[in-house]
């Protein structure tokens, strides 16, 4: 992976200055060739706690002076990271697959000890929020353009992107002149209303009964393939996050419900490991799924899930839930659930899991720790145990009845004699 990143110098080394159309950034690879280009603006609105158990809102925009330390390029993944102020950063991760590329997630980290942007904050922590942007299906060798405002909302942070021009995978060191525009920038075509002046007589309506429409039953999907995924802090380290599961997505649009298996083959895996928060991002040809795990130093759980993709019918969707409490286990353990499970993520999205085992914290020697089984697996063990106990009791009753009957027969024989 190319980790040698530089960018265009404007008056001062290491600083990118805002132009009229936004903040322009040029990231170069280890051969000093342009590999990522960006020109964009971002506005932030952050709610934070102040004294008296009250909240305040800080509003600011991405400033004119940023650095790109942490940006990097590769043939299938790229990261644009903009650092500014007192410990703040904004980054966007891209992945390429074949002839298309997309933005998988945006991470915004803000330092609440910065009194200039967060006056009277009672917290001195640096907080991060990860969201899924609406940048998908961009043709390779083109620039993604979106002049319209694109607001991405979470509980505490709202981000508005505008005047965006990005090419995440630049070939031959030269930015493309071809543009892939976002849907909001495309002109809407009004359908003209025509008034017929024809005098052709209309056929009379009859009471003939139309045959009922035939419906084709939805085919049953096979069990999805189990994918094995891991996150490493760097190329020379052992895994800090492990996951193994098969996934199926169910999505409802209007009155139509569709399901699609997630294909682990060719999936791009990315993410991060932290002390209290870890992330796993899986990007396939049709879908991107971001898992966010948190822990309270005793137990971990799946806290947030963001799914963006297109169903086989061509219907695109983007659903998220940032208030989950699933797959809970001790930090020193892994969570396992072999039986098929389904989880309602939103009113439109359902997640199905098969042969699930995850450990986002405390991985040792690159292997899963002792697993805590889910309730469904525990119940599956209880059934044969209960059946076995019932059979044992039945056998004891039969034996007891046999011995009692035999004893009575012996006593009757003595009396007869």
Return the pLDDT at 33.
92
Mean pLDDT, residues 107-122 taken together: 94
Q: What is the CATH topology of the domain spanning 1-184?
A: Porin (2.40.160)
- The sign of the CA dihedral 61, 323, 345, 377 is positive
Return the pLDDT at 385.
67
Return the pLDDT at 79.
93
For residues 349 and 250, the answer to whether their CB atoms sit within 8 Å is yes
Q: How confident is the model at residue 379 (pLDDT cuts 50, 70, 90)?
A: low
What are the backbone angles phi and psi of residue 190, rounded to the nearest 5°? -80, 135
Strand partners, 66: 16
Distance CA 86, CA 192 (A): 55
Hey, do 1-184 and 222-373 end up sharing a CATH topology, with the first three levels equal? yes
Q: Domains of the chain: which residue ranges?
A: 1-184, 222-373, 382-417
Mean pLDDT, residues 393-402 taken together: 84
**Separation in Å, CA 30 to CA 2, 7, 34, 117, 383:** 6, 12, 10, 35, 60
Residue 4: is its pLDDT beyond 70? no
Residue 294: is its pLDDT beyond 50? yes
Average pLDDT, the chain: 83
Return the pLDDT at 395.
87
Residue 391: is its pLDDT beyond 90? no
For residues 94 and 112, the answer to whether their CB atoms sit within 8 Å is no
Q: How confident is the model at residue 289 (pLDDT cuts 50, 70, 90)?
A: very high
Which CATH number applies to 222-373? 2.40.160.110
Please tell me which residue, 49 or 389, carries the higher pLDDT value: 49
Residue 12: is its pLDDT beyond 60? no
With residues binned 3-state (H G I as helix, E B as strand, rest as coil), the percentages for the chain, rounded to 5, are 10, 45, 40
Q: How long a stretch of residues is the chain?
A: 417
Burial of 221 (C-beta count, 10 Å sphere; 0-12/13-18/19+): exposed
Return the pLDDT at 203.
44
Mean pLDDT, residues 8-37 taken together: 65
Return the pLDDT at 415.
53
Residues in Cβ contact with 122 at an 8 Å cutoff, skipping those fewer than 6 apart: 49, 50, 51
How many Cβ atoms sit within 10 Å of the Cβ of residue 48? 20
Mean pLDDT, residues 386-400 taken together: 80
What are the backbone angles phi and psi of residue 396, rounded to the nearest 5°? -65, -40
pTM, whole model, 2 decimals?
Answer: 0.50
pLDDT tens readout for residues 238-248: 999 999 999 99
């Amino acid at each position: 992976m190319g980790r040698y990143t530089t960018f265009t110098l404007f008056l001062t080394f290491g600083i990118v200055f805002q132009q009229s159309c936004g903040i322009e950034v040029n990231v170069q690879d280890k051969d000093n060739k342009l590999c990522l280009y960006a020109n964009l603006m971002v506005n932030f609105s952050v709610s934070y706690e102040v004294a008296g158990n009250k909240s305040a809102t800080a509003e600011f925009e991405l400033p004119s002076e940023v650095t790109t330390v942490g940006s990097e390029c590769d043939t299938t993944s790229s990261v644009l990271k903009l650092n500014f102020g007192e410990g703040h950063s904004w980054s966007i991760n891209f992945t390429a697959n074949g002839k298309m590329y997309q933005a998988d997630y945006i991470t915004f980290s803000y330092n609440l000890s910065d009194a200039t942007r967060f006056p009277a904050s009672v917290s001195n922590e640096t907080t991060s929020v990860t969201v899924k942007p609406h940048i998908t299906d961009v043709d390779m060798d083109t620039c993604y353009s979106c002049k319209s405002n694109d607001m991405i909302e979470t509980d505490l942070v709202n981000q508005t992107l505008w005047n965006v021009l990005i090419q995440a995978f630049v070939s031959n060191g030269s930015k493309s002149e071809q543009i892939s525009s976002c849907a909001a920038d495309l002109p809407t075509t009004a359908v003209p209303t025509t008034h017929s002046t024809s005098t052709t007589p209309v056929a009379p309506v009859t009471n003939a009964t139309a045959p009922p429409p035939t419906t084709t039953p939805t085919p049953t999907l096979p069990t999805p393939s189990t994918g094995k995924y891991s996150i490493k802090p760097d190329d020379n380290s052992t895994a800090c996050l492990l996951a193994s599961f098969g996934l199926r997505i169910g999505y409802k649009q209007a009155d139509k419900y569709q399901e699609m298996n997630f294909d682990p083959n060719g999936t791009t895996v990315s993410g991060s490991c932290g002390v209290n928060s870890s992330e796993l991002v899986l990007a396939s040809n049709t879908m991107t799924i971001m898992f966010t795990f948190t822990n309270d130093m005793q137990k971990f759980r799946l806290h947030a899930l963001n799914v963006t993709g297109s169903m086989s019918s061509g219907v695109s969707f983007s659903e998220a839930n940032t208030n989950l409490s699933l797959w809970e286990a001790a930090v020193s353990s892994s969570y396992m659930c072999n039986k098929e499970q389904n989880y309602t993520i939103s009113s439109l999205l359902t997640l199905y899991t098969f042969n699930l085992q995850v450990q986002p914290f405390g991985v040792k020697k690159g292997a899963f720790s002792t697993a805590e089984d889910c309730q469904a697996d525990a119940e599956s063990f209880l059934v044969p145990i209960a059946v076995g106990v019932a059979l044992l009791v039945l056998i004891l009753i039969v034996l007891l009845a046999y011995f009692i009957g035999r004893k009575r027969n012996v006593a009757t024989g003595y009396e007869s004699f």
